[in-house]
Structures are given as C-alpha cells and as structure tokens.
Structure 1
Amino acid sequence: MNKLYAIIPIILAAGIGIGYGIFVAADSGVSTVQTPTKQIVTLAIQPTAQASDIESQAKELEQFLEQKTGYDIQIYVPTSYAGVVEALRFGKADMAFMSAWPSYLAVQKAGATLELAEVREVVIGDTLTAETYYYSYWVVPKDSPYNTLEDLRGKSAAFPSPLSTSGYVTPMKTLVETGLVTVEPGKEIDPKTYFSDVVFAGGYGQAWEALKNKRVDVSIIAGDVSEKLYREVRDGTKVIHEQGPIPSHGVVFSKDMDATAKSKVKAALLELGKDESSKQIMRKLISAIFVGFRETTADQHLGNLQDALNLTGLKYTERV
C-alpha cells in the first residue's frame, strides 16, 4: 500500500504534463481546474509613430479581436518597416498591418500572403469615395507657365518621401513610361537627371508648402491624404499629369500561420468598420480615413506597384 501511495503523485504529475490541467492538494483534498492557455496570435503594426504611442492605443483592437476569435491577441510595433518583414519571416509575427511597398517586400522576402486590402476614404478627381486604391497628381501653381511634364525639364520638384508609393514610386514610373528618364539596368532611377533640384519634404503637407512658397516648380498630391489638404492643394494648383491606380495599405499573414486561426482573424477583421464604434478603433490607431477591409490577393492589389518597381529599379531603404 505504501508503494501505491508513492505512485499516485507521479501519475497526477504526468497528467498535468500532458494537459489534463488538474491539481490535487494532498493535504486539503481540494481540487482546482486550471484554465487552459489561450492560443496566442501576434499582430505587428508598421511603425508610423512612436511604438509606445501605438501600443497604448492598441488595447481596443486587441479586445475586439479577442472577443471575436477567442485568441490571446498580442500587438507589438517593431522599430522599423524592415523589422515587420523580418518578424513575419522568422515567426515572430503571425500577421501585420502594412503599407503597400512593405507589404510587397513581405510577400517577396518573407513568403507572406496579402489577403486583405484597406478600404479608405479617398478623393479620386473631385469625388470623395471609399476604395482600396487611389491616384496621385503632378501639380504646379495655377499661374505657372508649365503645362506638361515635358515643360519641367531642368526645373525643381518636391516629393513627400522616397518611400512613398503614391508620392515617389508611381511618379517615377511615370517619368520612365513617358520616356523622360532612362534607367540603366541594375540601377535605381535618379530624378536629378531630369530635374535641377529634388527635395524630399517629409510629407504631402510640407511638399505643398514648398510649392506654395515658390521654392519648387512642381510637386505631388495624392487622393489618400485628408480631404481638407487635398482640396486645398487642388484648389491652388493645376494638374499636369495623373497616375494610378495606387494600392492602399493591406494585411499580410505569415506563411506559417495556423489556417484555422487565420480564418477566424480574417473574419473578425472584415467586421471592422461595419459599425461606427469598430471603425473608430481603426481610425484612432491606423488611419483617420479607414472604412473597412476587403479580401484580395497580392497579384490583384500590388500588381501596379510591382510594375513600378520593375521599371524604376527602386529599392526600399529606411533610416531606423
């Protein structure tokens, strides 16, 4: 009998090890059932602000997704765009919210899949609409003597950022397609071979200020900025060229993500924006013009971007 008593704790311990979740207190005789650990799903968000600011605002989204899926949703913000791609590549993230160019890199370099595109309030021409794409425009002051891109050879230009799909990559594609700039094989396009001066202003608002104050001759505005800024720029300029469609941001999933988990999370994300409260979760966290998500594929959503990168030879380089 003494041998039997000695074996019982071993059996119970083994039971705990294989997931029975039962603990027996030998002295009190009281049994406690442990709560099974929830499956963890990790969501990485491309850094657009201080990581601490994004993470502090992410609680509502975590709670929404946990309620809808039953998983333990953990959101974190890598220090760089490349960090998000690497997180997907090496299994540190199951999924990520990313802009178009980093999404493309995640597909190409991490084997990720882009499966949802962000529907945004955008202005196409003069019409405010909700779409997963938009256009950008070369603009000059209304009193400018220049009316075509050909007129701007040797002039000065302001772009929002060298990493902007709508503000730089797609306009550079236009210069190649129109034959105004030639790209040597294996090299990146150099707009300074066409313009006398090129300024990266730091954003669309700053590029508009440079144009408005006559520091440059031409700039770019895109339909996915705030409607107020878009209308102000369009009212004060004339458009000399339009390009697009340009893809909105997307949701990419790791190649190793559990299929059932992916299906549940996608279904939950597709509910975001169906009511005002869930729309505001994303507007406060990700984009002030968020409307919802729509199912897509990388080929459908990023095809034009891939063409632009192939024509221009541009490489994604960021400062951390």
Structure 2
Amino acid sequence: MKQEIITLIATVIFVALLAACGSRPESISSNSANKGARVVIALKPDKNPDQMIAERGSLEKYLSEKLGKPVEIIIPLSAAVINEGFANGTIDIGYLSANDLINAKDAELLLVGEINGKTTYKSYWLSLKEKPYTKIEDLKGKPVAFASKTSTSGFIIPLWDLRKRNLISEKADPEEFFGAGNVFFGTGYVSAVERVLNGQSEAAAVSYYVLDENKHLTEEQRSKLKKVQEQGDVPTHIIAVRKTLTGEERNKLRQALLSLNDPANTELRDKLFTSKLVEADQQEHLRPLKEALSIMPK
C-alpha cells in the first residue's frame, strides 16, 4: 500500500507539472505570418509516465526539425483539458480516442491509426492467468476496472457488449452486473491493469495491444495476464486538429506526421501512436462508436 501511494503521488506530480508547462502555450494559427509560434501537441496520459517523458522529447525534436519551428508536447490530466485547448486555441493537435473526438466540438479528424490494414481493433477483458475466468459471464459480481469513463475500448465498447448480451439493462449501469462498489475507473490502461496485478480487481477492460504488444506493460506484467474475452470493433485512435487551424499550416502538420510512417521513423511512431498513420473519413471512422453510444442512457 505504501508503494502504491508513493507511485500515485509521483504520477500526479508528474502530470501536473507537464500540464502546468503547457497550460498557456503560444499556439500556431492559420495566419501564415505567425511563422515563429510553436506547435502544441497534446497526448492522453494512458501509459507509464517515465516512458512518456522520453518519447515526448523524441517527438518534439523530430517534428521541430520537420516543421522548422518549436514543437511542444504536453500531457494534460484528461481529454477534457485537450478539448478546452482546442476551443481556446492553445492546443493545435491532440491524440485522442474516437469518443474523445465526438466530445470535441472544436476539433476534426486529421489522421487515424491503421492496424493490420484496418482502422478498427478489439477491446479485451484481462485477468490474471491463474484465475478461472473464460468469458464475461464468469465475472458477475466481481470487482473490475475500466480504463476510464471516456475510454472507447476500455469502457464504452465493453459496456455496449454487456448491454447486447442482456447482462445489464437499458440503464447501462455496470454495477448491475458487477455489483455495487465493484466498478473502478482508472486514468488509462495501465492504471486499470495495475489493479488486476495487485489483486484489487479481478479483471480490467483495455485495448487489445495492452496485452498483445510490448507498448504499455513490462514483459513480466504481460506474462501474468490472459484474455478473458474480446469485444468490438473499436475505431482506432485519432490525431485530431483544431478546426481553426486550416490551409497550409494544417497540411504541413499532416505531412510531418505522415512522415513517421517512413521506415526510419516507425519505432518512434509506434511508441507514441501505436500503429501506422493514415487518412480517413471522419463520419465513417466514428460510425461503430456512434452505434455503441446510441444505446447509452442520455
């Protein structure tokens, strides 16, 4: 318990400092005369903080060289902070889930991730390998962790799946199935999985790549976990751009980010954005999630 408290305090301080550093950035505008302004890119805090600090610096350096102007990467406390930045012009680019983009009234899809030729992926329920669970029904009345209340693969799609299976009612309250007080919401995939690893939760809802790929957890952590069930399809994560950033500035950002697909840059790309970056139609990309959200209580 003592170690958990220390880790939590360290994480909060880390994210708060990053948010403070980027709380009032001078962001670029669509005015071409504003050549010297910085580009501000916001990432959701869904990975290990130490990892994100190193990756942030590498991306800042790479994009600064490509764009010929300073680039600042910030990691706000939540997607709501990113959406506020889009609205007031202090954030230019945000790496978001599909659900976050639906809630972002002042941003539009710029690029999406492509995984094995598809722009959708699966959501997983994970548990410890030694647990007897083989399907979602086995978790009835058990304590579980969702990645966050806004996570597409770590909450919205798993909740939709519970509703489709008639395991919860039209109220779409997960406690109907898992039990009162048995539902925890984290601040990202890692925070949810850590509850499984330390015995506080029996299962966690996360993206498939948390288990299948070496990007969020250590090899030791992954070796202790198994997939209980998968659900989806889940629209891949989105690189969104604020609506007021248009024309040549937007195109330069798009091309700079697409250059991460070059073979020499894929390691950095995958650490930050998980997969290949491609262009996509916003309405079509968001369609599976909008179907899921349609059954949620208003």
> Normalising by structure 1, what TM-score?
0.64
Aligned partner letter, 1:192: E
- Residue of structure 1 in register with 2:283 after alignment: 299
Asked if the contact 1:42/1:92 (under 8 Å) is kept, the reply is no
| Mapped pair 1:275 → 2:263 | yes
Matches of 1:230 and 1:298 in 2, distance apart? Answer: 34
Q: 1:305 to 1:233 in 2, by over 3 A?
A: farther
User: What corresponds to 2:152 in structure 1?
Assistant: 165
Q: Any idea what the Cα deviations from partners look like across 1:57-91, whole Å, max 9, x if unmatched?
A: 44313323315xxxx35435274422221222233
Q: CA deviation at 1:242?
A: 1.9
Q: Which amino acid aligns with 2:112?
A: A
In the TM superposition, what is the alpha-carbon distance from 1:238 to its structure 2 partner? 6.3
Shift of 1:96: 2.8
Q: Which residue of 1 aligns with 2:80?
A: 82
Q: Match of 1:193?
A: 176
Alpha carbons 2:67, 2:256 under 8 Å: kept: no
Q: Structure 2: how far apart are the matches of 1:274 and 1:59?
A: 17
Identity of aligned residues (%): 27
Which residue of 2 is the match for residue 5 of structure 1? none
**Which of 148, 156, 161 is 1:174 aligned to?**
161
Is the contact made by 1:170 and 1:243 (CA closer than 8 Å) also made in structure 2? yes
Name the structure with the higher strand share: 1
Matches within 5 A, 1:201-280: 204=189, 207-208=192-193, 210-211=195-196, 215-225=200-210, 227-228=213-214, 239-276=227-264, 278-280=265-267
Deviations 1:137-176 (A, max 9, x none): 2345666555443443323323333333212221111111
In structure 2, the partner of 1:43 is 40
**TM value normalised by structure 2:** 0.68
CA drift of 1:219 comes to: 3.4
CA distance in 2, matches of 1:78, 1:237: 28
- Distance, in Å, in 2 between the alignment partners of 1:152 and 1:55 is 37
Q: Is the 8 A contact 2:42 2:91 kept in 1?
A: no
Out of 82, 97, 114, the position equivalent to 2:109 is 114
Larger mean CA deviation between 305-314 and 43-52 belongs to: 43-52
Structure 1 unaligned residues grouped into runs of 5+: 1-35, 121-128, 315-320
CA distance, structure 1, for counterparts of residue 202 and residue 42 of structure 2 = 36
Q: Tell me which residue corresponds to 1:33.
A: none
Q: How many aligned positions are there?
A: 256
Question: Do the aligned partners of 2:100 and 2:150 also contact (CA within 8 Å) in 1?
Answer: no
Q: What displacement does 1:192 show?
A: 1.2
Q: Which residue, out of 119, 125, 134, partners 1:138?
A: 125
CA distance 1:101–1:64, change in 2 (3 Å)? farther
Structure 2 unmatched runs, 5+: 1-32
AA in 1 matched with 2:96: M
Over the aligned positions, Cα root-mean-square deviation in angstroms equals: 3.7
Aligned equivalents of 2:201, 2:76: Cα separation in 1: 33
* Contact kept? 1:62, 1:75, Cα under 8 Å: no
Tell me, in whole angstroms, the C-alpha distance in 1 between the residues paired with 2:205 and 2:67: 41
Report matched runs for 1:89-104 at 5 Å.
89-104=87-102
Q: Tell me the alpha carbon deviations over residues 272-305 of structure 1, each in whole angstroms, 9 at most, x when there is no partner.
A: 12122x3344456x34xx3431001222222222
Give me the whole-angstrom Cα distance separating, in 1, the residues matched to 2:199 and 2:241.
44
